[in-house]
Structure 1
Amino acid sequence: MHSYIYPCPLRWADADANGHVNNALFLRFMEEARTRMFREVLADDEAGRRRNAFVVSRASVEYRAPLHYREDPVDVHVRVAHRRAVSFELAYEIRDANQLYAEGTIAIAAYNLDTGRPRRLTDTELAFLDRYTES
């Protein structure tokens, strides 16, 4: 098992008057990492993306240390903590080499936007998730 790592750039507007990155943005960092991680498994056409969509069903973040604005990106590590036939949970660490800033989890359900109902994960999606699943 290995993590997907996304070097997430920080933006000047992310910081408050004290130079701390706003805690609400950590969910955005997690989303950015997830969308880049899943690019290879998403359908190329709009109809396929609608039939084989994913929706977030739960998100949580535990803040470990303040993240100050800087020029260098912060790394967002993503791994699959659990998976089932229709859903999975991603575990995140927002960190650099010296500091863990936050840990989070996001539960995701496979979903068909056309029918408005959950769906089973495809074999391709399951194989993709297995590459990042904890042993």
Structure 2
Amino acid sequence: MRHLYSCPLRWSDMDAFGHVNNAVFVRYLEEARIDFTRRLAPGGGSTAFTGGSVVARHEIDYVRQLVHRHAPVTIELWVTKVTAASMTIAYEVKDEDTVYLRASTVVVPYNFTEGHPRRITAEEKAILKEFLDDASHQEGRREGAVAR
């Protein structure tokens, strides 16, 4: 299963060359990831996905320029790997016919009160496995990126 996030483009996202600045894409990924984890939280007294997390790694391939416009882009994300204490999330920033960016992020659950990473619970693993799909992300990586 994939999670879809509709990401608005802001005028301030554009750089001097008229396209969305490369650093802004990291913010787009963060917005999509936060939306994803908020939707994962099961509620009903469960503590799954209620703590904090930190980013351990980003990997980004810029495929096409994204020029500013009023229509949002879609960020499609899914999980490619779940370990005892981290998860890898893959993304595509795209429209129906065009992929602008492919990326992945390693996220580590973190206990900010105690000041250290924590393990992913069995409940969280079960929920994350619903979004596990590594084949599509690898296919996108093999296509390669276009440098800007």
Task: Please give the range of the TM-score, normalised by the shorter of the 2 chains.
Answer: 0.7 to 0.9
**Does 2:79 correspond to 1:80?**
yes
Paired residues, what number?
A: 131
CA-to-partner distance for each residue in 1:45-67, whole Å, 9 max, x for gaps? xxx69x83211111121100000
Counterpart in 1 of 2:15? Answer: 16
Question: Paired residue for 2:116?
Answer: 117
Give, in whole Å, the separation in 2 of the partners of 1:62 and 1:93. 10
Q: How far is the alpha carbon of 1:123 from its aligned partner?
A: 2.3
Identity of aligned residues (%): 37
Match of 2:145 in 1: none
Runs of 4+ in 1 over 6 A off after TM superposition: none
CA distance in 2, matches of 1:114, 1:123: 21
Question: What is the TM-score of this pair, normalised by structure 2?
Answer: 0.80
* CA contact 1:43–1:52 (8 Å) conserved in 2: no
Output the CA distance in 2 between the equivalents of 1:117 and 1:81: 24
User: Aligned partners of 2:24, 2:7: CA distance in 1, in Å?
Assistant: 11
Matched residue SS, 1:13: helix
Whole-Å Cα distance in 2 between the matches of residues 43 and 3 of structure 1? 17
Higher relative contact order, structure no. (Cα contacts within 8 Å, ≥ 6 residues apart)? 1
- CA change 1:26–1:58 in 2 (3 A) is same
Verify the 8 A CA contact 1:91 1:104 in the aligned structure 2: yes
1:15-94 matches, within 5 Å, as 15-42=14-41, 52-94=51-93
**Aligned mates of 2:88, 2:23 — CA distance in 1:** 20
What's the CA shift string for 1:28-55, capped at 9, x where partnerless?
A: 00000000111134598xxx69x83211
